[in-house]
Amino acid sequence: MREVVILGIGMHPFGKYTEKSLKELGRVAIWEAIHDANVPPKDIQAIYFGNSVGGLLTGQEGIRGQTVMKYSGLDWVPVTNVENACASGTTAFRGAWMEVASGLCDVALAVGAEKLFVNDTAKSIAAIAADSEVELARMGMQFTSLYALNLKKYMAESGATQKHFAKVVAKNSFNGSMNPMAYHRTPLSVEEVLASREIVWPLTLYMCASMGDGAAAAVLCAKEVADKYIKEQHRLVQIEACVLRSGVWLDPTKKDLKDPISRTAEEAYNIAGVGPKDIDVIEVHDAMAPAEIKLYEELEICGKGEGPKLIDEGTTAINGRIPVNPSGGLAAKGHPVGATGLAQIAEIAWQLRGECGQRQVKDPQIGLTQNDGGWVDGDSAAHTITILKRL
Amino acid sequence: MREVVILGIGMHPFGKYTEKSLKELGRVAIWEAIHDANVPPKDIQAIYFGNSVGGLLTGQEGIRGQTVMKYSGLDWVPVTNVENACASGTTAFRGAWMEVASGLCDVALAVGAEKLFVNDTAKSIAAIAADSEVELARMGMQFTSLYALNLKKYMAESGATQKHFAKVVAKNSFNGSMNPMAYHRTPLSVEEVLASREIVWPLTLYMCASMGDGAAAAVLCAKEVADKYIKEQHRLVQIEACVLRSGVWLDPTKKDLKDPISRTAEEAYNIAGVGPKDIDVIEVHDAMAPAEIKLYEELEICGKGEGPKLIDEGTTAINGRIPVNPSGGLAAKGHPVGATGLAQIAEIAWQLRGECGQRQVKDPQIGLTQNDGGWVDGDSAAHTITILKRL
């Protein structure tokens, strides 16, 4: 496998764009990434397009990526459309990485785009969540209730309180207020978060990721040929690991000791040759913000049961020892399903390049994104961990 | 890149299964492939799942593959859901091939599954075809009319007649009559094909691929570790090339001389180190059967304008010099969109292994599949060519 770098990144800001199509959102992110990469479009040899609910919401079920590429003037490049619910963006990134790392091509484009704000948005909720026969139809479960169930278990184990969860949202909304790509840019106090409408205890409204429209893209390149594209002050980010795993982690030969996210992270740490202590900045998939505290433990940036302490001590604040969700996370940024994973990667790449302005983390060398998607019979369908390094 | 072999293949017969779900169709093909491969399920490290219209037709928009894997008892394996309209099956196959060839894993499973027969099948026609804004909404075009336009052009250039097209269907329906996996198993005469209802001249009903439900799967393995799975009389098929290209083939640096399919095929021939003369058996994507004659020329198994002669002389008949569509092709076999490409690969693998019974082609060494999908603004969205070799 060859070493692969991110040459360029681009985003269409997340938000509510009732007047814009998926194609328009995608085109903006794609061309920003291409310009940022300084790559002639003719050099792009493969495209991976991640989108989750475009079939149900826009009626464009097949070849979604190709229609966006046609609109973006890139229709001669082969497209692989990928889907993994909320992890579709990282799945697209991983596909592009594999094309380049394997030597099949030198330059590939990864795109994640999603449009959720349409007339009948109830459709999208049903479409995204889960196995439609099992969770939705048979059991009447929804994402929020599944999350709440898991959180209650975690609260009992760790002593985390609803206030801890509200602190996460307060931290992230502060970060998001400095992010021009975020949908919601109002800093929220702990009190405001607790006072917002209860969805399913312990979740209040402001703890839940909001819907969003948006797109993100990255141009990937074999490190060995990157030189020819590098312009003055061009900063490169190297892909150290990009791992996709099922949330059901069954190894029939031994007893599982760790949860799926920990094991996915462990695999990524091993591939990258780093440990949790080496990570300087993290974006986690806080589809419901309280999950962030649990994720501190699962990613092993603290010990078991120490998550609440981390948020109390401000360790994961933007000026803390290991900032988490400097972008604002899913709650502040909005959560356009198929775009989210690539937007996390964009944030970490920008952080490593030192281009985040007010919300810039101090001199990070190595960053990590954790993105997962879907739900099948009580388990996450797809876990991804990506580790990036500044060159 | 490592050499990759097909260890096992499986199919759920194509047909109309109103009482069966996508999960049930998928499970049959998957377990047949796993048993055929002689691989312990725990050794499967990656799954690629190809499906095109399941979101619109079944309501399961996200994580379609994961729901099928849960149902199949394989939920611990990471799944990448892929879509490329009628080329979704080959796109899944290519993803699994890349995972193994790149060294990321040793054993991967590729699945293509589709269920088209539901209450409102008009939905699927709209969903499959094209850029829904451009071809369908703005221009009022449909697949059949786009095909017919192309065919008329070809008739003018080559002297092909409607009778030539009917001969293709007669040949393929004869092949399909010997295929237990085919939906339609009645041999049709040239006269019957010509007398069937006209859809858009020169297309008659029997020239058009019929809808279908079905699934196909393949277990892929790194050649260097295949030994440990090989049982008595286990026959291996090696993947010599698997190329995905856009139908819009733009090379800004030189003038294009060949059509997209010819260039995709040329690339595959070069990778495999073979020429059209070395191919012993072919499955082509005859979504409308007459296209097969044009494909003879595009794949360069004959010269420009010689397609009609090939069908007249029986060169592509099952006992001819280079049999095409021994499975019966899309018209006889049925066309469950996302399953079709993998079913083509299954047929070629079975042919190379000498397991096709009555429809067995004589001693083939090298086979090829051509599968394409989608339509954007008059061009095919995804072309794939796969070349397989008997070991």
Give the pLDDT of residue A139: 46
CA distances from A107 to A190, A206, A262, A385 (A): 45, 40, 31, 22
Q: Where are the domains of chain A?
A: 4-120+212-238, 128-210+240-390
Give the pLDDT of residue B232: 84
Give CA–CA dist B270/A149, Å, rounded: 56
Structure tokens at B201: 């001249």
Give the pLDDT of residue A244: 97
Which amino acid is located at A132 in the chain?
Answer: S
Smallest CA–CA distance from B134 into chain A, residue = A67
Which amino acid is located at B79 in the chain?
Answer: V
Smallest CA–CA distance from B103 into chain A, residue = A1
Judged by CB atoms closer than 8 Å, whether chains meet at B79 and A245 is answered as no
Give the pLDDT of residue B256: 59
The residue of A2, A80, A136 whose CB has the most chain B CBs within 10 angstroms, and thus the best one to mutate to test that interface, is A80
The question of whether B221 is a catalytic residue gets the answer: no
Judged by CB atoms closer than 8 Å, whether chains meet at B127 and A1 is answered as no
Q: What is the ipTM of this complex?
A: 0.94
Helix (H) or strand (E) holding B12: strand B4-15
What secondary structure letter does DSSP report for B391?
Answer: -
Structure tokens at B38: 């002689």
Smallest CA–CA distance from B132 into chain A, residue = A60
User: Quick check: do B4-121+212-238 and B127-209+240-390 share a fold?
Assistant: yes
- A chain contacts of residue B132, beta-carbon cutoff 8 Å: 58-60, 67
Task: Evaluate whether B170 touches B193 at the Cβ level (below 8 Å).
Answer: yes
Distance from the A321 Cα atom to the nearest Cα atom in chain B, whole angstroms: 33
- B chain contacts of residue A56, beta-carbon cutoff 8 Å: 55-56, 59, 61
Is domain A128-210+240-390 given the CATH code 3.30.710.10 in the classification?
A: no
- Give me the residue from A63, A104, A376 closest to B63, CB to CB: A376
pTM: 0.95
A102-151 residue pLDDT tens: 999 999 999 999 998 887 666 655 555 455 555 544 444 466 777 788 88
Residue A53: count other Cβ atoms within 10 Å of its Cβ: 26
The two beta strands, A46-50 and A79-83, are parallel
Is domain B4-121+212-238 given the CATH code 3.40.47.10 in the classification?
A: yes
- B chain contacts of residue A84, beta-carbon cutoff 8 Å: 62-63, 79-81
- A chain contacts of residue B341, beta-carbon cutoff 8 Å: none
Give CA–CA dist B171/B286, Å, rounded: 13
- CATH for the stretch A4-120+212-238: 3.40.47.10
Residue A137: count other Cβ atoms within 10 Å of its Cβ: 13
> B373, exposed or middle or buried, with CB in 10 Å at 0-12, 13-18, 19+?
buried
What secondary structure letter does DSSP report for B41?
Answer: G
- How many beta-carbon pairs under 8 angstroms link A with B? 203
Judged by CB atoms closer than 8 Å, whether chains meet at B62 and A52 is answered as yes
C-alpha dihedral sign at B95, B101, B104, B106: positive
Give CA–CA dist A212/A97, Å, rounded: 26
Q: Name A42's Cβ contacts closer than 8 Å, sequence gap at least 6.
A: B250, B251, B252, B253
Q: Name B40's Cβ contacts closer than 8 Å, sequence gap at least 6.
A: none
Judged by CB atoms closer than 8 Å, whether chains meet at B379 and A79 is answered as no
- A chain contacts of residue B80, beta-carbon cutoff 8 Å: 82, 84, 91, 94-95, 244
Select from B202, B207, B195, B275 the least CA-distant residue to B241. B275
Select from B335, B334, B329, B336 the least CA-distant residue to B311. B329
Residue A234: count other Cβ atoms within 10 Å of its Cβ: 14
Structure tokens at B55: 């979101």
The two beta strands, B4-15 and B237-245, are antiparallel
Residue A275: count other Cβ atoms within 10 Å of its Cβ: 12
Select from B26, B4, B186 the least CA-distant residue to B102. B4
C-alpha dihedral sign at B162, B163, B167, B170: positive
Q: What phi and psi values does residue A84 have, to the nearest 5 degrees? A: -150, 50
A260: left (phi over 0), alpha (psi -120 to 50) or beta: alpha
Q: Which residues of chain B, if any, have pLDDT below 70?
A: 120-143, 249-257, 377-378
Give the pLDDT of residue B94: 98
Catalytic one among B164, B285, B335, B383? B335
Beta partners for B376?
B379
Structure tokens at B374: 């989608």
Give the pLDDT of residue A90: 98
Task: Evaluate whether B160 touches B302 at the Cβ level (below 8 Å).
Answer: no
Q: Name B180's Cβ contacts closer than 8 Å, sequence gap at least 6.
A: B13
Task: Evaluate whether A82 touches A48 at the Cβ level (below 8 Å).
Answer: yes
Give CA–CA dist A270/B359, Å, rounded: 51
- A chain contacts of residue B337, beta-carbon cutoff 8 Å: 62
- Give me the residue from A60, A79, A374 closest to B62, CB to CB: A374
Judged by CB atoms closer than 8 Å, whether chains meet at A98 and B103 is answered as no
Smallest CA–CA distance from A58 into chain B, residue = B132
Which ranges of chain B does DSSP label H, i.e. alpha helix? 22-37, 54-58, 64-72, 88-101, 122-129, 143-158, 162-176, 190-195, 260-272, 291-298, 307-312, 329-333, 337-353
- A chain contacts of residue B77, beta-carbon cutoff 8 Å: 246
Residue A32: count other Cβ atoms within 10 Å of its Cβ: 19
Residue B252: count other Cβ atoms within 10 Å of its Cβ: 8
Q: Is the peptide bond prior to A202 cis by the omega test (within 30 degrees of 0)? A: yes
Is domain B127-209+240-390 given the CATH code 3.40.47.10 in the classification?
A: yes
Catalytic one among A12, A164, A184, A335? A335
- Give me the residue from B60, B95, B101 closest to A132, CB to CB: B60
> A253, exposed or middle or buried, with CB in 10 Å at 0-12, 13-18, 19+?
exposed
Give CA–CA dist B221/B7, Å, rounded: 6
SS3 B165: helix
- A chain contacts of residue B81, beta-carbon cutoff 8 Å: 82-84, 91
Judged by CB atoms closer than 8 Å, whether chains meet at A56 and B53 is answered as no
Task: Return per-residue pLDDT of chain A as tens, 391 residues.
Answer: 999 999 999 999 999 998 999 999 999 999 999 999 999 999 999 999 999 988 877 778 889 999 999 999 999 999 999 999 999 999 999 999 999 999 999 999 999 999 988 876 666 555 554 555 555 444 444 667 777 888 899 999 999 999 999 999 999 999 999 999 999 999 999 999 999 999 889 999 999 888 899 999 999 999 999 999 998 888 999 999 999 999 886 655 556 567 889 999 999 999 999 999 999 999 999 988 889 999 999 999 999 999 999 999 999 999 999 999 999 999 999 999 999 999 999 999 999 999 999 999 999 999 999 999 988 766 788 999 999 999 9
SS (H, E, C) chain A: CCCEEEEEEEEEEEECCCCCCHHHHHHHHHHHHHHHHCCCHHHCCEEEEECCCHHHHHCCCCCHHHHHHHHHCCCCCCEEEEEECECHHHHHHHHHHHHHHCCCCCEEEEEEEECCCCCCCHHHHHHHHCCHHHHHHHCCCCHHHHHHHHHHHHHHHHCCCHHHHHHHHHHHHHHHCCCCCCCCCCCCCHHHHHHCCEEECCEEHHHECCCCEEEEEEEEEEHHHHHHHCCCCCCCEEEEEEEEECCCCCCCCCCCCCCHHHHHHHHHHHHHCCCHHHCCEEECCCCECCHHHHHHHHCCCCCCCCHHHHHHCCCCCCCCCCCECCCCHHHHHCCCHHHHHHHHHHHHHHHHHCCCHHHCCCCCCEEEEEEEEEEECCEEEEEEEEEEEEC
Judged by CB atoms closer than 8 Å, whether chains meet at B131 and A66 is answered as yes
Number of alpha helices (DSSP H) and beta strands (DSSP E) in chain B: 13, 11
Give the pLDDT of residue A122: 62
SS3 B296: helix
Judged by CB atoms closer than 8 Å, whether chains meet at A53 and B62 is answered as yes
Distance from the B12 Cα atom to the nearest Cα atom in chain A, whole angstroms: 22
B226-261 residue pLDDT tens: 999 998 888 999 999 999 999 886 665 556 567 889
Which amino acid is located at B174 in the chain?
Answer: F
The question of whether A285 is a catalytic residue gets the answer: no
Instruction: Quote the Cα angle for A328-A266-A351, to 5°.
Output: 30
Judged by CB atoms closer than 8 Å, whether chains meet at A75 and B128 is answered as no
Task: Evaluate whether A389 touches A366 at the Cβ level (below 8 Å).
Answer: yes
